[in-house]
């Protein structure tokens, strides 16, 4: 029997005891085992590529089905240890697939792609084949890639696990109670200013317990990435990240330059918020403080009505996906014991659906979060008909549909409100989010860039990392934030830094926010005609570079002015916020 308010995972598996799970694991192992002798046949290169693509498709769908189910179950209930064991089992099996992947990419690289795509079975894989050919130039020998994949489980994977363990278990006493890092950081949103500041001081006092271990982990991870990046032939970890993200250095430079050049728009916002608290520059502990008034007390059904109504006016296909998500139990709504916090959306093209995790509490921000995550679901609907190996979009465009939804819903509510206190709260919520994806993301990017450069020459101590972070924050926030209150340990509470496979996880968020803002500006000016282009653009995100994606909607992403105009589109809302504060 399906439980109200919880997602339905039965289209994947009935339960963790479903015998089909073991059958799929057996099939997965068999595919990987067979792949070891795949290239020993006497078939020609073109035939091997066609058969290799079929094998990759079958494996991709199996892994997607298994891993998606296990990750969804794990996040819904972290007390089930079996999910982690099974996910590790997948990683172990897939490490053995590395030689095949290397062999297939090298075989593709030796061919004329224009000739390959004349084959009926390969026509729809033109982008993937070109990408495989490019990737082949950055691969080590097959045996080495397999060895690295296995060692990563016990090497950088162990450092990642250490970060998770230390940051989830470290605690400190506050007001006679033991508080974890997560609990202290959540208090940053509390309306009580005294409590916020007390929690911030307690949080800073917690890090000395774990700083040396985390600094060691960070040095080790970044050191390995530097080494392997050089061995594979990339100029730097940033160049490798851009290659994986299908984005040019020219586009990134334009984005970063625009953020730095126009940061004063957000400095004005922070200074206005500081004025609200009687400060010259905003104290870090007050950055996420709620001000004004936000409506609350909503039910899940209220959220459905509000979102469907809102997007029906903008673009009915988005509204239809939102309505289906509620109707067909795609969403796990409520917080509960052992369920992870936050929210996310998982696209499941294999069943042409998505699943959304939220922690709905009846607040306005909870509805905004649903708008965001259901934007991801709409993106999933736009790409679900692609071939199995052409269903992955890169990180820079990953936040496009979600942030587009969020911006639309937030601005619609701001426009509709005639209560100054509610309007102030709505504006603060909007600018708080965009300020984070511009200023905070900029600081994280500058920090990581410095760490990668310096770790090649020295072992960075906690004190060094704190200094680098402080300098990055001063550069990013200007005098909008009180320099004496900045957070020196932001490198010790963000898991993205502790991943060997996700270097520079930061800049795609700024890209996504500002790209979405530019898209929404066009939607307002061009109307329904633009929304047809918008759909085509989303569909193309899995088979295009970032620059090609932008060109489909008339945006030159290599031009700094594109990004400057996007940042400037928030200036009127900063001005309105300043007026309301005054």
CA–CA gap between residue 480 and residue 265 (Å, rounded): 10
Would you say residue 246 has pLDDT above 60? Answer: yes
Across the range 29-50, mean pLDDT stands at 92
Q: Classify each residue of 392-408 as buried b or exposed e, where b means 16 or more C-beta atoms within 10 Å of its C-beta.
A: bbbbbbbbbbbbbbbbb
Would you say residue 1 has pLDDT above 50? Answer: no
**Higher-scoring residue by pLDDT: 538, 336:** 538
* Fold annotation for 19-151: Butyryl-CoA Dehydrogenase, subunit A; domain 3 (1.20.140)
pLDDT tens across 419-464, in order? 999 999 999 999 999 999 999 999 999 999 999 999 999 999 999 9
Q: Cα separations (Å) of 299 from 11, 74, 334, 355, 360?
A: 27, 26, 11, 20, 9
Across the range 554-575, mean pLDDT stands at 97
User: For strand 177-180 and strand 344-348, is the pairing parallel, antiparallel, or unpaired?
Assistant: unpaired
Would you say residue 524 has pLDDT above 50? Answer: yes
Would you say residue 4 has pLDDT above 80? Answer: no
pLDDT at position 562 is 97
Would you say residue 145 has pLDDT above 90? Answer: no
pLDDT at position 473 is 98
Q: Is residue 525 within 8 Å of 565, Cβ to Cβ?
A: no
Q: Cα separations (Å) of 285 from 94, 202, 435?
A: 44, 11, 15
Q: Cα separations (Å) of 407 from 102, 274, 440, 482, 570?
A: 41, 24, 19, 28, 11
Give this prediction's pTM: 0.91
Would you say residue 157 has pLDDT above 50? Answer: yes
Considering the chain, what is the average pLDDT of its residues? 94
* Fold annotation for 216-292+394-582: 1.10.1370
Per-residue confidence band for 506, with pLDDT thresholds at 50, 70 and 90: very high
pLDDT tens across 465-482, in order? 999 999 999 999 999 999
CA–CA gap between residue 344 and residue 335 (Å, rounded): 13
Instruction: Single out the residue of 322, 292, 293, 317 nearest to residue 306, CA to CA.
Output: 322
Q: Domain residues of the chain, as ranges?
A: 19-151, 216-292+394-582
Q: Which two tokens stand for residue 55?
A: 């094998």
Three-state DSSP class for residue 230? helix
Count CB-CB contacts under 10 A for residue 528: 11
User: For strand 177-180 and strand 171-174, is the pairing parallel, antiparallel, or unpaired?
Assistant: antiparallel
Q: Please name the helix (run of DSSP H) or strand (run of DSSP E) that holds residue 355, with its range, or none.
A: strand 353-357
Q: Which two tokens stand for residue 392?
A: 């992955």
Q: Is residue 377 within 8 Å of 347, Cβ to Cβ?
A: yes
Across the range 389-398, mean pLDDT stands at 93
Per-residue confidence band for 11, with pLDDT thresholds at 50, 70 and 90: very high
CA–CA gap between residue 6 and residue 331 (Å, rounded): 6
pLDDT tens across 317-343, in order? 999 999 999 999 999 999 888 888 889
pLDDT at position 236 is 96
Length of the chain, please?
Answer: 582
pLDDT at position 2 is 64
Question: H helices of 293-440, where?
Answer: 300-314, 316-327, 364-383, 395-398, 400-416, 420-435
Counting residues of the chain whose pLDDT is more than 90, the rounded percentage is 86
Per-residue confidence band for 153, with pLDDT thresholds at 50, 70 and 90: confident
Would you say residue 168 has pLDDT above 90? Answer: no
């Amino acid at each position: 029997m399906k439980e109200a308010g919880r997602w339905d995972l039965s289209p994947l598996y009935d339960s963790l005891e479903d015998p089909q799970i073991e059958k799929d694991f057996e099939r997965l192992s068999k595919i990987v085992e067979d792949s070891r002798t795949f290239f020993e046949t006497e078939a020609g290169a073109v035939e091997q590529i066609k058969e290799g693509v079929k094998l990759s498709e079958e494996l991709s769908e199996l892994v997607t089905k298994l891993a998606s189910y296990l990750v969804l179950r794990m996040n819904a209930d972290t007390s089930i240890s079996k999910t982690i064991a099974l996910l590790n089992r997948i990683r172990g099996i897939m490490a053995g697939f590395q030689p095949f992947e290397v062999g297939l990419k090298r075989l593709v690289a030796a061919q004329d792609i224009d000739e390959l795509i004349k084959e009926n079975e390969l026509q729809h894989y033109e982008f993937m084949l070109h990408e495989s050919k490019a990737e082949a130039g950055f691969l080590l020998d097959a045996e080495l890639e397999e060895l690295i994949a296995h060692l990563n489980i016990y090497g950088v994977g162990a450092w990642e696990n250490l970060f998770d363990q230390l940051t989830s278990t470290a605690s400190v006493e506050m007001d006679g109670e033991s508080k974890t890092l997560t609990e202290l950081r959540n208090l940053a949103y509390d309306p009580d200013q005294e409590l916020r500041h007390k929690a911030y001081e307690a949080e800073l006092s917690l890090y000395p317990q774990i700083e040396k271990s985390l600094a060691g982990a960070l040095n080790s991870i970044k050191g390995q990435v530097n080494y392997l990046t050089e061995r594979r032939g990339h100029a730097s970890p940033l160049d490798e990240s851009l290659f994986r993200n299908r984005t040019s250095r020219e586009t990134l430079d334009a984005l970063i330059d625009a953020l730095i050049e126009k940061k004063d728009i957000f400095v004005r916002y922070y200074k206005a918020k500081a004025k609200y608290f009687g400060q010259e520059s905003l104290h870090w502990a007050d950055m996420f403080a709620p001000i004004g008034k936000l409506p609350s007390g909503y039910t899940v059904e209220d959220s459905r009505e509000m979102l469907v109504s809102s997007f029906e006016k903008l673009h009915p296909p988005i509204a239809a996906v939102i309505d289906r998500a509620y109707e067909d139990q795609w969403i796990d709504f409520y917080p509960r014991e052992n369920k992870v916090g936050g929210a996310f959306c998982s696209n499941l093209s294999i069943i042409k659906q998505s699943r959304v995790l939220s922690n709905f509490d009846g607040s306005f921000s909870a509805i905004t979060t649903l708008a965001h995550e259901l934007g991801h679901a709409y993106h999933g609907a736009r790409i679900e008909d692609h071939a199995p190996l052409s269903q992955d979009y890169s990180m820079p465009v990953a936040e496009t549909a979600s942030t587009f939804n969020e911006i639309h819903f937030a601005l619609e509510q701001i426009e509709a409100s005639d209560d100054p206190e509610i309007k102030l709260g709505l504006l603060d919520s909007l600018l708080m989010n965009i300020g984070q994806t511009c200023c905070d993301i900029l600081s994280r990017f500058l920090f990581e860039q410095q760490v990668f450069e310096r770790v090649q020459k020295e072992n960075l101590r906690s004190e060094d990392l704190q200094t680098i972070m402080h300098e990055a924050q001063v550069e990013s926030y200007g005098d909008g934030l009180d320099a004496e209150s900045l957070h020196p340990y932001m490198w010790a509470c963000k898991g993205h830094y502790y991943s060997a496979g996700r270097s520079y996880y930061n800049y795609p968020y700024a890209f996504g926010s500002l790209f979405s803002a530019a898209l929404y500006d066009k939607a307002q000016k061009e109307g329904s005609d633009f929304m047809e282009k918008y759909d085509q653009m989303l569909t193309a995100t899995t088979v295009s570079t970032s620059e090609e994606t932008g060109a489909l909607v008339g945006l030159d992403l290599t031009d700094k002015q594109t990004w400057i105009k996007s940042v400037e589109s928030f200036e009127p809302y900063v001005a309105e916020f300043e007026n309301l504060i005054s």
